[in-house]
Amino acid sequence: MAVGQTDFPVMPPINGVQLGTTNAGIKQTERDDLLVFQFSEIATCAAVFTKNAFCAAPVNLAKEHLLHAPRWLLINSGNANAGTGEQGMNDARQTCQNLAQIVGGQTQCVLPFSTGVIGQALPVEKMTIALPNAVANLAENNWENAARAIMTTDTFPKGVSKIITLNGENVTINGIAKGAGMICPNMATLLSFIATDAKISQPLLQHCLKATTELSFNRITVDGDTSTNDACVLIASGCSLAPEIIADSENYNIFADAILTVMKSLAELIVRDGEGATKLMRIVVSEAQNDEEAVQVAKTIAHSPLVKTAFFASDPNWGRILAAVGRAGVEAMELEKIRIYLDNVCIVRDGGRANDYTEEAGQNVMNQAEITIDVRLGRGNCSQTVLTCDFSYDYVKINAEYRT
């Protein structure tokens, strides 16, 4: 059961971007599991990928193909094509070649992406049979179908849309993402695809994506596990009437801020849909010496199974938060300066339990579905926020039965 409101938004078409889906029966036959993106010849494309050393075959191949002005994305759910060795690379190449033949393009202009079970061979034959139908379904208004086609253990499709104005002309940004478990991104999220009709060079688009990913998808965690298949792609079709976005301009700042807003919203939806999640926790660490220190403390709290299970039980066991801060690896902390709050309830001050803290006040906060853990280190002026969720019985059940 997801936390909070999760309705799929109205997403307007983006000129120069089409999406087509179909069911290939990769792991199930109830919904579509194959997605094709097609974008304009003048489009630019940027991407970031997982830093997991065992990155999946499609990740390796997408990195190669990104250098060849991509025109198509090919995404499947139900099978990660990870931990599959040279056969996995051959299978990924074959699927790209198959799509290229259908659309009359070049194999290296197709970026492949996969998500699902690790260690199983990609069902290339099933995908080959299904691909013509996905291409036949290409349309500008297929965003919700696309969001559903990339789901695995997700309980709802995730989408965000935003329109900005540059020099009096509209620029549209649409984004979809999937992810619910194995979420602790490192340069990307499980899978996210964002498209805009803006005109912008590939190097500047790549710069924008890297910067905004760091402040959005790299600030969430469900379970501390970084996937083998993480990838985030940003496509700019170049079909808007707005002028080309250039570096160090007001238009670039407006555009980058809008991309960050979309990506932060998608990242939050992933946490809201964390496997078995019943609560959303915002961990705000402020008064740090630098951003890295703030993230380090926040993620130590977010990754703590003891903290996460206490929140599931609505147990104001504040000592678990205190212990996580203490083991975060920050050197020379002055404990008397640290304050920790649950929402506006101070739980730690002057090196221990706050004198005015009451169990009743803590319990009232813990009963909420959305809670802020506010840690003030008293060391500097830097602040960062990390989003996470609780660990429930269902998290264990979902992952214990993932392959059955």
**Residues noted as catalytic:** 189
Pairing of strands 191-196, 231-236: parallel
Which among 150, 66, 78 is positioned nearest to 109, based on CA atoms?
66
Tell me the C-alpha distance between 142 and 186, whole Å.
29
Tell me the C-alpha distance between 138 and 21, whole Å.
8
Q: Please, what is the Cα angle at 179 between 395 and 60, to 5 degrees?
A: 125
Token pair 């969430």 is found at 220
Tell me the C-alpha distance between 95 and 87, whole Å.
12
Tell me the C-alpha distance between 373 and 339, whole Å.
11
Q: Phi and psi for 399 in degrees, rounded to 5?
A: -80, -25
Q: Tokens standing for 203?
A: 């190097």
Tell me the C-alpha distance between 114 and 311, whole Å.
33
- CA torsion 134→176→312→325, rounded to 10°? 130
